[in-house]
């Protein structure tokens, strides 16, 4: 083999030409041992899979995708002219791409026919632009993906829900077929394969087998170094005590860091889809630590990770054993009857429901409410609506009734599909093709630390709210035989939504401002469902928008809004502290009638899925 055939030149962005890169041959002994290990593990996985197939009845189309695409095809066939127009446009662009690629190969300048947005990290490697072949592959893929999208989104007469499902799964297909996801069409992978003599592919195969083993035959992609973090040691470390617990939650009271504190305590109710320490990841980005430093006596609900024993716990049980039980405990711990409350995502939906229930019962202990990225009107639930139809709900309920709960990993997969390129395919490339170990990242550790959902509660939530949108209707939902009406909630309310939220779209969360009857403030933060919320002032990474007016149309609100640099946290603190400015000497956990049970973050949060 000649030297020319054993080397090739690479050039990284911003660097001088590093010269020829050697093709390194793998060590035969290492290769032999690796292949023997891979063969043994593969045989075991296949045997386990075959055994499981004999025990389980597999549904042909549990997501009901087939009927949606059949309906789309029927509508397309009824209008062949639209297909022809789309095809003609596609082939014209494709011919232009061929011509421009030919010009580039001849050393002549040529404009790109189509390019990926700068935010698309799949094509960040310089070879996607600098190399004519890879540039052609990239543009060819982008043209094809645009063609598919144009066809499926311009079908006349298609039911909106069906159209949304077709569009969603078409994008899933296009994302999966990206050339960046394959060895022979990814320049970065080819370069590393040459540099390591293929060791990256062996390491990647081992990573793949490890993920299959961890998922017991199902692919459970490892997104971060799961051994790098330990709750209560290097994340979730704000000092405090568990002062109360029941079947569904532990209540944590955090230790003060100021001499005086606001008289009115702060109660935070996170979602029970994930664990509470998203608000207490590290000291530098901990909302809990920051709120304590601003003089709040902070209480946080830490939900249990339920098993089959809690299958019959319903939405109203989370209200009674969550917020209402916490209010009783706070009064015992501090002597204070009145509190400020925060609800995050599903915790916010529960908070709004609880406030409506309390209004019906004449209970006024919650004096102000803050809603982080919270849905109250589910009319437009975004792409999560793709998973909420009768066929899928029946299939989901059958699974939940067998086990008594919904596996947290199944919920996590659904959320990851909403951002497949970032949360699925980027890790496929990094872990399996490049053979890299996942980077230690606290947020991704939290994302992987999912929880189960009790069957009765989750069925109620999906059917009553997502499917039927009954929470937005007066008396549409009953909790403990009490019809509730969000319009009866008159406490001051602060709404925090995020502009790029793929779980709770901000225009949908904005509708909550039109439902509650008290004084309201709506703030829109940049970024998404997590990063837009966990945005400490010290970092000031993302901006936020404010507008004192609350028109019915969210677009009208945004047009009149003013963008403010930095975190929204200080704006919230000014708002909530203005509700009641009185202060008292700082309260230490255990000084009241409730004695500490254990140190924060408690034991419930440490229960992981097997």
CA angle 543, 544, 545 (to 5 degrees): 140
Give the torsion sign (CA, 331, 335, 338, 342). Answer: negative
Question: How many other C-beta atoms can be found within 10 angstroms of the C-beta atom of residue 424?
Answer: 19
**What are the φ/ψ torsions at residue 21 (nearest 5 degrees)?**
-105, 125
Q: Give the 3-state DSSP-derived string for 410-429, with helices as H, strands as E and coil as C.
A: HHHHHHHHCCHHHHHHHHHH
Give CA–CA dist 333/313, Å, rounded: 26
Helix (H) / strand (E) containing 394: helix 390-403
- Using H for helix, E for strand and C for coil, what is the string for 479-510? ECCEEECHHHCCCCEEEEEECCCCCCCHHHHH
Strand 240-245 vs strand 598-599: parallel, antiparallel, or unpaired?
antiparallel
Cross-strand pairs, 242: 252, 598
Cis amide linkage into residue 601, ω under 30° from 0: yes
Asked if 345 is an active-site residue, the reply is yes
Q: Which of 310, 324, 345, 433 is catalytic?
A: 345
Return the bridge partners of 300, or none: 252, 268
Q: Are 486 and 471 in contact (CB under 8 A)?
A: yes
CB 572 within 8 A of CB 523: yes
What distance in Å separates the CA atoms of residue 330 and residue 237, rounded to the nearest whole number?
A: 21
Query: Dihedral through CA 225, CA 229, CA 235, CA 239, nearest 10?
Result: 180
What is the enclosing helix (H) or strand (E) of 244? strand 240-245
**Helix orientation angle between 132-152 and 80-105, rounded to the nearest 10 degrees:** 170
**Which residue from 357, 393, 372 is spatially nearest to 274, judged by alpha carbons?**
372
CA dist 347 and 279 (Å) reads 13
CB 437 within 8 A of CB 205: no
- Residues annotated catalytic, as ranges: 345
């Amino acid at each position: 083999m000649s030297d020319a055939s054993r080397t090739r030149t690479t050039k990284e962005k911003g660097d001088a030409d590093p010269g020829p890169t050697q093709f390194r041959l793998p060590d035969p002994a290492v290769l032999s041992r690796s292949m023997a290990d891979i063969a043994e593990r593969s045989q075991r996985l296949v045997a386990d899979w075959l055994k499981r197939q004999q025990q389980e009845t597999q549904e042909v189309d549990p997501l009901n995708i087939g009927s949606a695409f059949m309906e789309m095809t029927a509508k397309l066939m009824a209008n062949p002219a639209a297909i022809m127009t789309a095809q003609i446009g596609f082939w014209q662009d494709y011919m232009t791409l061929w011509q421009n690629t030919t010009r580039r190969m001849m050393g002549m300048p040529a404009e790109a026919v189509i390019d990926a947005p700068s935010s698309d990290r799949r094509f960040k490697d310089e070879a996607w632009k600098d190399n004519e072949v890879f540039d052609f592959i990239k543009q060819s893929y982008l043209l094809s993906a645009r063609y598919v999208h144009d066809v499926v989104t311009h079908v006349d007469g298609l039911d909106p829900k069906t159209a949304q499902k077709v569009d969603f799964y078409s994008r899933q297909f296009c994302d999966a077929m990206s050339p960046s996801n394959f060895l022979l069409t990814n320049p970065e992978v080819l370069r590393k394969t040459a540099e390591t003599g293929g060791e990256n592919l062996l390491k990647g195969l081992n990573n793949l087998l490890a993920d299959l083993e961890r998922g017991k035959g199902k692919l459970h992609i490892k997104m971060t170094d799961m051994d790098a973090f330990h709750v209560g040691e290097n994340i979730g470390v704000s000092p405090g005590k568990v002062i109360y617990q029941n079947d569904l939650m532990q209540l944590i009271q955090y230790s003060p860091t100021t001499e005086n504190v606001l008289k009115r305590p702060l109660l935070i109710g996170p979602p029970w889809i994930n664990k509470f320490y998203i608000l207490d990841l590290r000291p530098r980005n901990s909302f809990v630590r920051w709120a304590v430093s601003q003089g709040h006596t902070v209480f946080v609900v830490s939900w249990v990770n339920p098993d089959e024993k809690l299958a019959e716990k319903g939405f109203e049980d989370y209200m009674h054993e969550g917020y209402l039980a916490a209010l009783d405990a706070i009064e015992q711990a501090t002597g204070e009857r009145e509190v400020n409350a925060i609800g995050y995502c599903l915790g916010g939906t529960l908070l709004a429901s609880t406030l409506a229930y309390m209004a019906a019962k004449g209970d006024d202990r919650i004096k102000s409410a803050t809603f982080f990225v919270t849905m109250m009107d589910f009319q437009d639930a975004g792409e999560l609506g793709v998973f909420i139809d009768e066929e899928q709900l029946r299939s989901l309920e059958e699974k939940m009734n067998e086990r008594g709960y919904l596996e947290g990993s199944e919920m996590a997969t659904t959320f990851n599909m909403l951002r497949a390129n970032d949360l699925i395919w980027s890790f496929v490339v990094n872990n399996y093709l490049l053979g890299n170990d996942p980077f230690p990242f606290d947020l991704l550790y939290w994302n992987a630390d999912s929880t189960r959902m009790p069957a009765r509660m989750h069925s109620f939530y999906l059917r009553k709210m997502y499917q039927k949108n009954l929470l937005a209707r007066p008396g549409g939902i009953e909790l403990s035989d009490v019809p509730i009406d969000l319009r009866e909630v008159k406490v001051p309310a602060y709404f925090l939504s995020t502009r790029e939220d793929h779980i709770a779209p901000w225009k949908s969360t904005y509708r909550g401002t039109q439902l509650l009857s008290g004084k309201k403030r709506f703030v829109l933060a940049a970024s998404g469902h997590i990063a837009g919320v966990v945005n400490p002032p010290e970092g000031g990474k993302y901006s936020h928008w404010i507008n004192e007016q609350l028109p019915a149309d969210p677009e009208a609100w945004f047009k009149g809004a003013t963008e403010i640099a930095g975190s929204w946290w200080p704006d919230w603190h000014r708002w909530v502290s203005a509700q009641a400015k009185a202060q008292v000497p700082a309260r230490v956990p255990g000084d009241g009638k409730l004695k500490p049970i254990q140190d924060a973050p408690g034991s419930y949060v440490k229960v992981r899925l097997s």
